[in-house]
Amino acid sequence: MTIAVIDYGMGNLHSVAKALEHVTHENVMVTRDPRSIRGASRLVLPGQGAIRDCMGELQRTELEGLVKDLLEEQAKPLLGICVGQQMLFDRSEENGGVDCLSFLPGKVRRFGHKLTTPDGERLKVPHMGWNRVTQHHQHPLWNGIEDGARFYFVHSYYVEAERDGDIFGTTEYAGIDAHVVTGRGTVFAVQFHPEKSARDGLQLLENFVNWAP
């Protein structure tokens, strides 16, 4: 049993790998080798920084086709994190518009510019820090996690999924209910960083490791 953290050159993969190692005795591998990725029993698709760079690196490392195949095959659990969630959708408006993996219907939008709260405070972008996640549908990855639990976020763009059935959690920021947890079949994806979200984040990773969809 091996969990492969897909290393296409974007993001700080060490934190994810270390957190997984903390919750499982299974082998955790950070890799860009297609054979290792295909041979793994579970996959983590991370992502950080600009989505154009993430998609670009996925193409440059020739992993885009493999990741698309693995998503469609629905043969093993995959956890998307941060930009790894956003990339699953059709298109992002970041960087002037970037086509993504189109595994789920929907788009990725910016929170806005020069936002303020109702009482006139400047609302910061990125949305950074610990915010509440409202669970939208039941899912095995929510086991042992309270509805409304806080997770650690850092992002300026958010997912707007088209299908209600693909949404598993939402978070309110800037008056928007962002679809911060989405998934379908063997795929589950979160905008927040479970590897940095203390006890509840580790619980979610443990649930992923034990998930048998």
Partner 1 sequence: MTLAKRIIPCLDVDAGRVVKGVNFVGIRDAGDPVEIAKRYNQQGADEITFLDITASHEDRDTTVEMVERIAGEVFIPLTVGGGIRRCEDIRTMLNAGADKVSINTAAVTNPDFVREAAERFGSQCIVVAIDAKKVSADGEPSRWEIFTHGGRRPTGLDAVDWARKMVEYGAGELLLTSMDRDGTKVGFDLGVTRAISDAVEVPVIASGGVGNLDHLVAGVKEGGADAVLAASIFHFGEYTIPDAKRYMAEQGIEMRL
Looking at the annotation, which residues are catalytic?
82, 193, 195
Least distance CB 104 / partner 1 (angstroms): 23
Binding residues among 183-212 for partner 1 as defined by CB under 8 A: 193, 195-198, 201-202
- Quick one: which of 170, 187, 151 has its CA closest to 78? 187
Nearest approach in angstroms of CB 72 to partner 1 is: 29
* Cβ 2 vs Cβ 26: under 8 Å: yes
87 CB contacts (<8 Å, ≥6 apart)?
A: 45, 47, 51, 54, 55, 58, 80, 100, 101
Among 25, 114, 138, 212, binds partner 1 (CB under 8 A): 114
Measure the CA–CA gap between 211 and 157, rounded to whole angstroms.
28
Neighbour count for residue 45 (Cβ, 10 Å): 28
- Residue 22 lies near partner 1 (rule: CB under 8 A): yes
Residue 176, interface with partner 1 (CB under 8 A)?
Answer: no
Write out the E strands in 75-164: 78-81, 91-92, 98-99, 106-110, 115-116, 122-123, 127-132, 134-135, 150-155, 157-161
CA proximity to 117, closest of 175, 47, 162: 175
Nearer to partner 1, 27 or 74 (CB): 27
Shortest Å, Cβ 77 to partner 1: 21
Q: Please give the single-letter amino acid code of residue 186.
A: T
- Member of 65, 97, 105, 129 binding partner 1 (CB under 8 A): 129
Residue 24 sits in the site that holds partner 1 (CB under 8 A): no
Please, which of residues 1-20 interact with partner 1 by CB under 8 A? 11-12, 14-15, 18-19
Q: Between residue 41 and residue 100, which ones bind partner 1 under the rule CB under 8 A?
A: 48-50
Q: C-beta of 115: minimal distance to partner 1 in Å? A: 9
Q: With binding defined as CB under 8 A, does residue 125 bind partner 1?
A: yes
**Residue among 32, 90, 109, 130 that touches partner 1 (CB under 8 A):** 130
Q: How far apart are CA 35 and CA 56, in angstroms?
A: 21
User: Is 25 near partner 1 (CB under 8 A)?
Assistant: no
Indicate left, alpha or beta for 20 from its phi (over 0: left) and psi (-120 to 50: alpha): alpha
User: Which residues of the shown chain bind partner 1 in the complex (CB under 8 A)?
Assistant: 11-12, 14-15, 18-19, 21-22, 48-50, 113-114, 117, 121-122, 124-132, 150, 152, 154, 171-173, 193, 195-198, 201-202
